[in-house]
Chains A and B, each alone.
Chain A
Amino acid sequence: MSARAFAVFMAVLALVGLLAYGLISRGEETLAAGDPVPATELDVLGGSGTGSIADHEGRWVLLNVWASWCKPCEEESPALQRYHDLHAGKRFTILGIDSQDNTDDALAFVERFGLSYPQLHDGSGEFAQEELGTTGVPESFLVDPGGRVAAHFAGPLTIEHLEGCVTPSVAAGRTDLAGCQFPGVAR
């Protein structure tokens, strides 16, 4: 191979490599129904140690991605806490993922709304955006006891949405979204 041909080959290889990197670094698509939720360890918000979805294996989990600077998150937080008060137990819990947020601001938000369900801190937003595929906040995923996505919701949740869509799944032990009117996309 002549020197010129080798140089052209290397230039083409570099260009292809750059294109591939650009495609890969665009991020993942949002998790779909049936996809396993990554059991990535995240820092406990305002505490020591780490936690993940795996800590709640065997229970239905409403994974809620939020941030203290997010106005719709303020709207849905009272509904989430009320729903947690009514239904949390051996079969169900809510797990908050505080994303792209400052710890002190997040803790102030938790205290302001009296949120008592577990909270993990995803400061860089990498877990939410790259692994869950979220495109904003708030977004929520209903996760079955096996750790797989049962449904995905984009936007603030209300108590009516939660009672109408999450309760039947938890009670019946299967995903049952017939007649469910969720905000965003329900799968």
Chain B
Amino acid sequence: MRAAARLTLVALALAAPAGAVAAVEPRADLADVSDEVMCLVCGVPLDQAPDAPQAIREREFIRGLIADGLTKDEIKDRLVAEYGSEVLAEPQTSGFDLAAWLVPGGAIVLAAAGIAVGLRRWRRAAAAVAAVDARRAKTPLDPEEERRLDADMRRYEP
């Protein structure tokens, strides 16, 4: 009975902080937001922006939203509502901005495919040369056949 009561108390003690954490999101931080939004006039992320008037105003705006208890995502939504999607440091995942994600990814995939194809050809050529060398060792060719074989093999070399 006592053991059951102790176990219940321990379980409640462990559950309480988890419940508290689940109910309250971490407070947004200016530094955490500033590196994900742009200073529109400066053209750099806000955390790198000098003390230009527009950057100062933007930071004050963000501080006000933090003081109002908004989360980082809510703050970014408010910034977009005020300044447009250009205020976000990362391109959006819709419309033409999607190209900023797709093009580099596509280029990496194409490059990987090119490397894979090139490797396969190189291995085939290497295997073919090894096979020919092995046959030569067993069955020596006369000079004319050697010359013709070398000319044919050169076609497979990169």
> Which A residues contact B (CB, under 8 angstroms)?
3, 7, 14, 67-71, 100-105, 123-126
**B83 contacts across to A, CB distance below 8 A:** 100, 102, 123-125
Contact A126 B84 (CB under 8 A): yes
Q: A120 to nearest B CB, angstroms? A: 14
With contact pairs A124-B40, A125-B40 given, residues A102 and B53 touching in the complex (Cβ less than 8 Å): no
**A7 contacts across to B, CB distance below 8 A:** 114
Contact B84 A124 (CB under 8 A): yes
**B40 contacts across to A, CB distance below 8 A:** 100, 124-125
Select which of B41, B57, B82 is within 8 A of A123 by beta carbon. Answer: B82
**A126 contacts across to B, CB distance below 8 A:** 84, 86
**A105 contacts across to B, CB distance below 8 A:** 57, 61
Q: How many A-B residue pairs have CB under 8 A?
A: 43
Question: A100-B40, A124-B87 known; 19 other A-B pairs, CB under 8 Å?
Answer: A3-B117, A14-B107, A67-B54, A100-B83, A101-B54, A101-B57, A103-B82, A104-B61, A105-B57, A123-B81, A123-B84, A124-B40, A124-B85, A124-B86, A125-B40, A125-B41, A125-B83, A125-B84, A126-B84
Question: How far, in angstroms, from A94 to B118 measured CA to CA in the complex?
Answer: 66
Question: How far, in angstroms, from A68 to B81 measured CA to CA in the complex?
Answer: 18
Interface flags, B80-95, vs A, CB<8A=1, else 0: 0111111100000000
Chain B, interface size category, equals 10 to 19
Question: How far, in angstroms, from A3 to B158 measured CA to CA in the complex?
Answer: 14
Nearest B residue to A7 via CB reads: B114
Question: How far, in angstroms, from A123 to B87 measured CA to CA in the complex?
Answer: 10
With contact pairs A7-B114, A124-B40, A124-B87 given, residues A102 and B56 touching in the complex (Cβ less than 8 Å): no
Question: How far, in angstroms, from A106 to B18 measured CA to CA in the complex?
Answer: 43
Interface flags, B48-88, vs A, CB<8A=1, else 0: 00000110111001000000000000000000011111110
The 6 A-B residue pairs with the shortest CB-CB distance in the complex, in nearest-first order: A124-B84, A69-B53, A123-B83, A100-B40, A69-B54, A69-B57
**A103 contacts across to B, CB distance below 8 A:** 82
Contact B61 A69 (CB under 8 A): no
Question: How far, in angstroms, from A70 to B82 measured CA to CA in the complex?
Answer: 17
Contact A102 B57 (CB under 8 A): yes
Question: How far, in angstroms, from A67 to B117 measured CA to CA in the complex?
Answer: 56
**A68 contacts across to B, CB distance below 8 A:** 57
Question: How far, in angstroms, from A126 to B41 measured CA to CA in the complex?
Answer: 12
Contact B61 A102 (CB under 8 A): yes
